[in-house]
């Protein structure tokens, strides 16, 4: 709020009561204006805090207790004991390791595939719009359906397409999802998320400053040189945005795992494991809460990096 | 910035040799068709007899609609397609309306007449998306249980609204930011109230963006599975839970499952096709504008 | 019918130290067309927006027709504004755009239609009433924006660079029409522009601002003939006045070693001031190429047909300095010529403080 300066020039330095009343009126008006601007955002803000932030504080509290929901005894405050036990918890470590592998592989592969697709689509050819529509579709498909579909009609050894192709090539078909559970989930994730990455990169490619590209061409740069030295730097924020959004969603994948591999070990990530250990029947709410907090901290680290990127984008453009 | 509406004028990355262009065009077609193939096959399988579907893959069969009628039949006590569809419909509709009612004024305050520190507020909204659902699922489950809301549609409406709200605020802000500042000032001078301003001046301009945002909320809510299965596993549950239950109850009957999957997926795929350009522009440009 | 008064009005943007408009005092008469002019960042638009109620007045007050409107919202000030980009509502037809304010005031439909039709007739827009703004040309949109202002029959018109989005030819034509329309309607008008030609041709009086401070407000002729300070002298006039820090030539202010002819009154006023800190200005038309005076070499000759401007490079205070001289249309001078420049008309002398030294 700007300082309200009372004009003192006319009255030899002493503000009159009139001046003071006016200054107060201006201040009141500015304050009212400030609230008028703030008011519309409040309902959404309060709702979001109530439904997302308050429960998080509860989780934080649970994680410091030995609470099991299936016993009547009152929950006991046990400090950081749950966290201390994490390093010795083999199941937790496995799930965490799966989470890391799954997220990194899915994000990187979909980013690579998506960028490739975007580059192919960023040129005029017959049926461009049609192919783009086809390529977008996997992202729209319900994750449960995507999982089922791949599991049954692609991965299945008797009537799946992959087995059929392998047979045709003279190999034995295998039960892909059982033998390579992690890879199976990652394949489906990449299939669903490459289109998303493609669209973000495509937005970047088509939003390029055309005059810079033309200038490069006039200066005699080759197509590849132009891409590497001009397009790629301009694309960077979009690649970062895609990585960020992809990571945020993919770190909490649940649906695909539930449908494709179920409770099978080998593809159980942290969110899945946490749900299993708490409301899924495990009932150790205290311990599972500690797991959750670890996931949240990991996400916060990613988010922090990501937010800095987004913040730079906003600064540059406003 | 007109994304997608303008064909790129500059030289494409991979050169402009005619033969190369031809090869790349064909390559793009092949990749596009390959990407779409699993869905194509899903639709094909939905029209097969179970015996045909569960043998070696073939295109040589007599199409039938029986699977579609079977999966939509009342399944006697279990969650039926009609019930699940009805539940999904109402949950998605009400949560999306709620999201819009909350997000439109918020976007106004962040874009049209920005309040102080609007960036911090926008970041807060986005940052809630970075909070993994597992970080809050337990308290939500307990609160819902204590309020006797487990297994109701209400709990999903509440959660889907919270889930989509940050996204909607984010996208709408970028659309609202495109409304010229002078237009708002002109309407102020013309004596327009805040509501009149939103209704008569802003909404007509941003209507396509609002529609795209709403559609994206619909898609995310329609496809949501984790909350639905954790908080609502029985009576009042939604289409994704129904599809998953088809797997459990029908076992590996591929044709029936395919038909069920097609029915579950079709509404949002169609919606997504219609709104693809704007949706993505809103998502990507939300960060850039 | 209204008078407008700014009284010590200041605007300080939140988070800034320097006021965007600093204690502005300005009286605008009933029916007057006053132009606010200045370079970008001078506060001219801010001053207008304060009058519109779109910017808070942090200090001082603003009066319309002896009513203090400082704290009133825009819609209660009985004003109409024309924006640089016209700000037409894209979803409404031309007619609805023009009638929108009346609709907000709950004016009955029949009267609304009548007033819109009348304004459309004045502006030659009748056949476009049912079109959307996007189907109009730039000039037509500009007229719709004018129409929207006229329909309201406000006390004051506010215009924020209303012509700057038109191409050069149309701008000159519309300038005349607009001035004529304002005179016919007799509505008090405050008009903001960065273009000093527009300011001089349209304004009954012109107020020159720089860094938020009012420099001078006067009729265009006075502004040109007797600029109050160095800034106004340099800003008004095209091509610009030749304006130099003077040098001391035998106790008189001079340019390139030649003393300028000042009268005794000016000389007296300059007494006690350091002569190399005062400034001397002379307009190109008040210089001639002659046989005596400042020596220099011609670098550029701009031949405009009716007149020519000759750029001469001289050595002033040890630096190469450019002087512009107006010459006849069919000038004999060419690049490379050695010439002498003589004074032939009024001089402008500004003291150490940059203010005009009155003779």
- Residue C63: its H or E element: strand C59-64
Shared-domain flag, residues B18 and B116: no
Query: Nearest-CA distance from B127 to chain A in Å?
Result: 7
Determine the residue among B118, B180, B188, B189 to mutate to test chain C binding: the one whose Cβ has the most chain C Cβ atoms within 10 Å: B189
Q: In residues, how long is chain C?
A: 359
What is the CB neighbour count within 10 angstroms for residue C93? Answer: 17
DSSP sequence for A26-63 = HHHHHHHHHHHHHGGGHHHHHHHIIIIIHHHHHHHHHT
The first and second tokens of residue A204, run together, are 């970047």
Chain B segment 61-100 residues within 8 A of A by beta carbon are none
Burial C24-38 (b: 16+ CB within 10 A, else e): bebebeebbbbbbbb
Task: Kindly indicate the confidence band of residue C67, based on its pLDDT and cuts at 50, 70 and 90.
Answer: very high
Residue C255 has pLDDT above 70, yes or no: yes
Tokens of C64: 């319309």
Name which of A141, A195, A212, A302 to mutate to probe chain B: the one with the most chain B Cβ atoms within 10 A of its Cβ: A141
Nearest CA in chain A to C14: A2
> What does the alpha-carbon distance between residue A148 and residue B59 come to, in Å, rounded to a whole number?
20
One domain for residues B238 and B159: yes
Q: Do residues B142 and B22 share a domain?
A: no
Minimum mean pLDDT range among A13-17, B220-224, C54-58, C347-351: A13-17
Same domain, A118 and A7: no
User: In chain B, what residues touch C84 (CB-CB under 8 Å)?
Assistant: 182
Per-residue pLDDT, averaged over B91-112, amounts to 94
Q: Does A37 touch chain C if contact means CB atoms closer than 8 Å?
A: no
pLDDT at A3 over 70: no
Model pTM score: 0.80
Q: pLDDT tens for residues C324-347?
A: 999 988 878 889 999 999 998 899
- C102 vs A239, more confident: C102
Q: Is residue A54 part of a domain?
A: yes
Does C12 reach chain A within 8 Å, measured CB to CB?
A: yes
Note whether B29 and B149 are same-domain residues.
no
% pLDDT > 90, chain B: 25
pLDDT of residue B280: 64
Mutate to test the interface with B, among A31, A34, A44 (most CBs of B within 10 A): A44
Please judge whether B182 and C84 are an interchain contact, meaning their C-beta atoms are less than 8 angstroms apart: yes
Distance from CA of A11 to the nearest CA of B (A): 35
Domain that holds residue A29: 3-62
pLDDT band at A178 (very low <50, low <70, confident <90, very high): confident
Q: Would you state the pLDDT for residue A8? A: 42
Residue A204's CATH number: 1.10.3720.10
Alpha helices in B112-251 (DSSP H): 118-129, 137-146, 153-176, 181-189, 194-196, 203-223, 226-231, 239-250
Task: Answer yes or no: do C89 and B183 touch at CB < 8 A.
Answer: yes
What is the reported pLDDT for B208? 82
pLDDT of residue B15: 55
**Does a structural domain hold residue B5?**
no
Q: C200 in contact with B at a CB cutoff of 8 Å?
A: no
Size of interface A-C (CB pairs under 8 A): 36
**Do B160 and B130 lie in a common domain?**
yes
B239 in any annotated domain: yes
- CA R_g for chain C: 24
User: Is position A168 within any domain?
Assistant: yes
Among the ranges given (A8-12, C12-16, C246-250), the one the predictor scored with the smallest mean pLDDT: A8-12
Higher pLDDT among residues C112 and A27, named by residue:
C112
Q: Are B10 and A217 in contact (CB under 8 A)?
A: yes
A39 plus A142 within the same structural domain: no
pLDDT given at position B196: 87
What is the rounded distance in angstroms from the CA atom of residue B149 to the CA atom of residue B141?
Answer: 9
ipTM of the complex: 0.84
Mean predicted lDDT score pLDDT of chain A: 81
Residues of C in contact with A1 (CB under 8 A): 14
> Is A119 in the same domain as A8?
no
Q: For residue B216, what pLDDT is reported?
A: 84
Question: Closest to C56 (Cβ–Cβ): which among A7, A22, A30?
Answer: A30
Q: In the listed set B45, B67, B89, which residue is the last one of a domain according to the structure?
A: B67
Q: Which residues in chain B have Cβ-Cβ distances shorter than 8 Å to A252?
A: 132-134
Burial of A159-194, coded b for 16+ CB within 10 Å and e otherwise, reads bbbbbbebeeeeeebeebbeebbbbbbbbbbbbbbb
Based on the fold, state whether residues B259 and B158 are members of the same structural domain. yes
Q: C60 and A7 in contact by Cβ < 8 A?
A: yes
Asked if pLDDT for residue B161 goes beyond 90, the answer is yes
Task: List chains adjacent to chain B, taking adjacency as at least 3 C-beta pairs closer than 8 Å.
Answer: A, C
Which tokens sit at C335? 């690049």
Digit-coded pLDDT (tens) for B5-23: 444 444 555 555 778 888 8
Answer yes or no: is B3 within a domain: no
Is C80 near chain B, with CB under 8 Å? yes
Residue of B1, B10, B127 with shortest CB distance to A214: B10
Q: Across the interface, which of B3, B103, B268 has its CB nearest the CB of A203?
A: B3
Distance from CA of B103 to the nearest CA of A (A): 6
Distance (Å) from the alpha carbon of B14 to chain A's nearest alpha carbon: 6
- Backbone phi and psi for residue C203, each to the nearest 5 degrees, phi listed first: -70, 135
B204 touches chain C (CB under 8 A): yes
Q: Are residues A125 and A202 in the same domain?
A: yes
Residue C355 pLDDT > 50: yes
Tokens 């909490």 correspond to A252
Q: Is A20 on the interface with C (CB under 8 A)?
A: no
Q: Is A9 on the interface with C (CB under 8 A)?
A: yes
Q: What pLDDT, on a 0 to 100 scale, did the predictor assign at position C275?
A: 85
3-state secondary structure of A73: coil
Pick from C8, C13, C60: which is nearest to A2 by CB?
C13
| Residue B23 is assigned to a structural domain of this protein | yes
Same domain, B120 and B237: yes
- Residues of chain B numbered 96-115 and touching chain A (CB < 8 Å): 102-103, 105-106, 108-110, 113-115
Give the model confidence (pLDDT) of B162-210 as tens digits. Answer: 999 998 998 888 888 888 889 999 998 988 888 888 888 999 888 888 8
In a domain, A138, yes or no: yes
Q: Is residue B4 part of a domain?
A: no
Q: What total number of domains does chain B contain?
A: 2
Residue B212 sits in the same domain as residue B244: yes
Q: What is the mean pLDDT of residues A143-157?
A: 88
CB atoms inside a 10 Å sphere around CB A264: 12
**Given a cut of 90, is residue A93 above it in pLDDT?**
no
The answer to whether residue C23 neighbours chain A at the CB level (below 8 Å) is yes
pLDDT reading at C175 higher than 60: yes
pLDDT at position A210, please? 77
Higher pLDDT, B64 or C285: C285
Closest-CA distance, C61 to chain B, in angstroms, reads 19
For the record, the structure tokens of A89 come out as 């918890």
Is B186–C83 a contact, with Cβ atoms under 8 angstroms apart? yes
From B67, B92, B107, give the residue that closes a domain: B67
Contact C8 A33 (CB under 8 A): no
Report the residue from C14, C74, C90 with minimal CB separation from B188. C74
As a whole-number percent, the residues of chain A with pLDDT over 70 amount to: 89
* 3-state SS assignment for residue C281: strand
Mean pLDDT of chain C: 91
Same-domain check for residues B27 and B165: no
Distances (CA, A) of B33 to B37, B48, C85, C208: 6, 22, 47, 67
| Averaged pLDDT, A267-293 | 83
Half-sphere exposure in the Cβ direction for C320 (13 Å, CA): 6
pLDDT cut 90: percent of chain C above it: 67
A11 touches chain C (CB under 8 A): no
Interface mutation target, options A61, A121, A149, A198, chain B, most CBs of B under 10 Å: A149
Asked if C236 and C223 touch (Cβ cutoff 8 Å), the reply is yes
For the cut 80, the answer to whether the pLDDT of residue B236 exceeds it is no
Between A61 and C27, the more confident residue is C27
pLDDT at position A306? 66
Q: Is the pLDDT of residue A88 over 90?
A: no
User: Mean pLDDT over residues B25-45, rounded?
Assistant: 92
Contact across the interface for A25 and C71, Cβ inside 8 Å: yes
The answer as to whether B1 is a domain residue is no
Q: Rounded to an integer, what distance in angstroms lies between the CA atom of residue A177 and that of residue A150?
A: 9
Do C47 and C35 touch, CB atoms closer than 8 A? no
C7 in contact with A, Cβ within 8 Å: no
Between B42 and A303, where is the model more confident? Answer: B42
Tokens 């989930």 belong to A185
Cβ within 8 Å of residue C256, ≥6 positions away? C294, C295, C296, C314, C315, C316, C321, C323
Instruction: Provide CB contacts within 8 A for B200, sequence distance 6+.
Output: B187, B192, C89
Structural domain for B30, as ranges: 11-67
Q: Are A145 and A209 members of one domain?
A: yes
Task: Report the neighbours of A using a cutoff of 3 or more CB pairs below 8 angstroms.
Answer: B, C
Beta-bridged to residue C248, according to DSSP, are C253
Tokens of B197: 């301003």
User: What is the per-residue pLDDT for C38?
Assistant: 93
> Is B21 in contact with B13 (CB distance < 8 Å)?
no
Asked if the Cβ–Cβ distance from B230 to A299 is below 8 Å, we say: no
The answer to whether residue C15 neighbours chain A at the CB level (below 8 Å) is yes
Residue C119 has pLDDT above 80, yes or no: yes
Residues 133-172 of chain C whose Cβ lies under 8 A from any Cβ of chain B: 148
Closest to C77 measured CA to CA, from C96, C99, C88, C62: C62
pLDDT averaged over every residue in chain B:
82
Query: Is A88 in the same domain as A47?
Result: no
Residue of chain A nearest B57, judged by CA positions? A159
B197 touches chain C (CB under 8 A): no
- pLDDT-derived band at B265, boundaries 50, 70, 90: very high
**How many domains does chain A fold into?**
2
Task: Note whether A146 and A7 are same-domain residues.
Answer: no
Give the per-residue pLDDT at C221. Answer: 94
Nearest to C39 by CA among C218, C169, C213: C213
Given CB atoms, is B266 within the 8 Å cutoff of chain C? no
- Cβ distance of B196 and C53 shorter than 8 Å: no
- Mark whether B56 and B81 lie in a shared domain: no
Q: Do A258 and B15 touch (CB under 8 A)?
A: no
Between A15 and C339, the higher pLDDT residue: C339
Q: Is C104 on the interface with B (CB under 8 A)?
A: yes
Q: How many residue pairs bridge chain A and chain B with CB atoms within 8 Å of each other? A: 337
From chain B, the residues in CB contact with C104 under 8 A are 190-192, 196
Shared-domain flag, residues A177 and A34: no
- At residue C27, does pLDDT exceed 50? yes
Residues A109 and A182 in one domain: yes
Question: Domain of B96: which CATH number?
Answer: 1.10.3720.10
Shortest distance between the Cα of A98 and any Cα of chain B, in A, equals 16
B121 with B206, same domain?
A: yes
């Amino acid at each position: 709020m700007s300082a309200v300066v009372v004009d003192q020039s006319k009255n030899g330095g002493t503000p009159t009561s009139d001046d003071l009343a006016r200054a107060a009126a201006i201040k009141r008006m500015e304050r009212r204006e400030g609230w008028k601007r703030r008011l519309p955002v409040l309902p959404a803000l309060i709702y979001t805090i109530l439904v997302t932030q308050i429960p998080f504080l509860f989780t934080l509290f649970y994680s410091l207790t030995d609470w099991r929901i299936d016993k009547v005894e009152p929950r006991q405050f046990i400090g950081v004991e749950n966290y201390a036990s994490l390093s010795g918890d083999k199941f937790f470590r496995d799930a965490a390791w799966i989470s890391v592998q799954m997220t990194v592989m899915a994000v990187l592969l979909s980013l690579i595939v998506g960028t490739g697709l975007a580059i192919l689509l960023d040129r005029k050819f017959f049926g461009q719009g049609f192919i783009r529509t086809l390529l977008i579709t996997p992202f729209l498909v319900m994750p449960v359906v995507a999982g089922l579909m791949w599991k049954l009609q692609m991965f299945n050894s008797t009537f799946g397409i992959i087995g059929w192709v392998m047979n045709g090539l003279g190999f034995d078909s295998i039960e892909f999802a059982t033998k390579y559970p992690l890879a199976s989930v990652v394949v489906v994730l990449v299939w669903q998320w490459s289109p998303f990455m493609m669209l973000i990169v495509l937005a970047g490619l088509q939003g390029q400053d055309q005059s810079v590209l033309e200038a490069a061409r006039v200066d005699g740069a080759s197509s590849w040189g132009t891409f590497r030295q001009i397009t790629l730097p301009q694309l960077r924020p979009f690649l970062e945005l895609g990585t960020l959004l992809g990571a945020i969603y993919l770190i909490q994948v649940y649906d695909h795992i539930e449908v494709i591999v179920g409770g099978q070990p080998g593809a159980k990530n942290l969110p899945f494991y946490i749900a299993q250990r708490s409301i899924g029947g495990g009932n150790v709410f205290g311990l599972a809460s500690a797991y959750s907090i670890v996931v949240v901290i990991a996400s916060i680290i990613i988010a922090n990096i990501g937010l800095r990127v987004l913040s730079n984008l906003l600064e540059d453009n406003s | 910035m007109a994304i997608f509406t303008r064909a790129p004028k500059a030289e494409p990355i991979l050169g402009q040799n005619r033969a190369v262009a031809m090869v790349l065009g064909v390559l793009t077609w092949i990749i596009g068709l390959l990407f779409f193939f699993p869905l194509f096959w899903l639709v094909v399988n939905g029209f097969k007899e179970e015996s045909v579907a569960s043998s070696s893959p073939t295109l040589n069969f007599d199409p039938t609609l029986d699977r579609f009628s079977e999966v939509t039949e009342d399944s006697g006590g279990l969650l039926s397609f009609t019930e699940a569809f009805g539940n999904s419909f109402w949950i998605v509709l009400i949560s999306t309306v709620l999201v819009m009612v909350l997000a439109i004024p918020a976007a106004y305050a962040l874009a049209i007449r920005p309040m102080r520190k609007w960036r911090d507020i926008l970041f807060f909204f986005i940052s809630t998306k970075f909070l993994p659902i597992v970080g809050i699922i337990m308290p939500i489950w307990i609160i819902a249980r204590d309020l006797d809301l487990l297994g109701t549609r209400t709990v999903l409406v509440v959660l889907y609204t919270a889930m989509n709200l940050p996204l909607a605020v984010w996208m709408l802000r970028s659309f609202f930011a495109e409304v010229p500042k002078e237009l708002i000032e002109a309407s102020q001078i013309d004596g327009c109230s805040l509501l009149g301003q939103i209704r008569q001046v802003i909404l007509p301009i941003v209507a396509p963006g609002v529609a795209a945002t709403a559609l994206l909320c619909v898609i995310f809510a329609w496809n949501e599975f984790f909350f639905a299965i954790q908080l609502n596993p029985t009576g009042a549950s939604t289409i994704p839970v129904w599809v998953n239950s088809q797997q459990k109850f029908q076992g590996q009957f591929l044709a029936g499952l395919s038909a069920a999957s097609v029915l579950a997926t079709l509404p949002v795929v169609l919606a997504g096709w219609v709104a693809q350009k704007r949706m993505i522009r809103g998502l990507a440009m939300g960060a850039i504008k | 019918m209204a008078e407008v008064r700014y009284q010590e009005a200041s605007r300080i943007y939140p988070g800034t130290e320097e006021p965007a408009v600093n204690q502005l005092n300005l009286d605008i008469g009933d029916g007057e067309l006053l132009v606010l002019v200045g370079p970008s960042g001078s506060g001219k638009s801010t001053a207008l927006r304060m009058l519109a109620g779109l910017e808070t007045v942090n200090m001082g007050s603003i009066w319309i027709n002896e009513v203090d409107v400082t704290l009133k919202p825009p819609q209660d000030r009985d004003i109409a504004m024309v924006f640089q980009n016209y700000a037409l509502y894209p979803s409404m037809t031309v007619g609805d755009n023009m009638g929108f304010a009346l609709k907000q005031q709950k004016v009955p439909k029949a009267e609304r239609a009548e007033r819109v039709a009348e304004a459309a007739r004045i502006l030659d827009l009748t056949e476009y009433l049912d079109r959307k703004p996007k189907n109009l040309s730039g000039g037509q949109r500009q007229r719709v924006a004018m129409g929207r202002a006229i329909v309201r029959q406000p006390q004051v018109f506010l215009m924020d660079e209303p012509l700057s989005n038109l191409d050069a030819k149309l701008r000159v034509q519309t300038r005349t029409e607009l001035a004529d329309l304002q005179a016919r309607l007799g509505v008090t008008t405050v008009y903001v522009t960065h273009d000093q030609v527009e300011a001089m041709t349209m304004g009954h009086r012109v107020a020159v601002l720089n860094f938020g401070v009012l420099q001078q407000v006067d009729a265009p002729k006075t502004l040109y003939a007797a600029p109050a300070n160095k800034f106004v002298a340099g800003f008004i006039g095209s091509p610009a006045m030749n304006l130099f820090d003077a040098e001391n030539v035998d106790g008189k202010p001079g340019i390139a070693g030649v003393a300028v002819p000042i009268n005794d009154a000016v000389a007296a006023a300059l007494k006690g001031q350091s002569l190399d800190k005062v400034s001397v200005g002379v307009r190109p038309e008040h210089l001639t190429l002659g046989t005596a005076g400042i020596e220099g070499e011609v670098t550029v000759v701009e031949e405009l047909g009716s007149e020519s401007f000759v750029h001469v490079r001289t050595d002033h205070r040890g630096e190469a300095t450019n002087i512009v001289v107006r010459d006849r249309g069919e000038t004999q001078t060419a690049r490379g010529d050695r010439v002498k420049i003589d004074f032939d008309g009024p001089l402008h002398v500004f003291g150490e403080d940059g203010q005009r030294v009155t003779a």
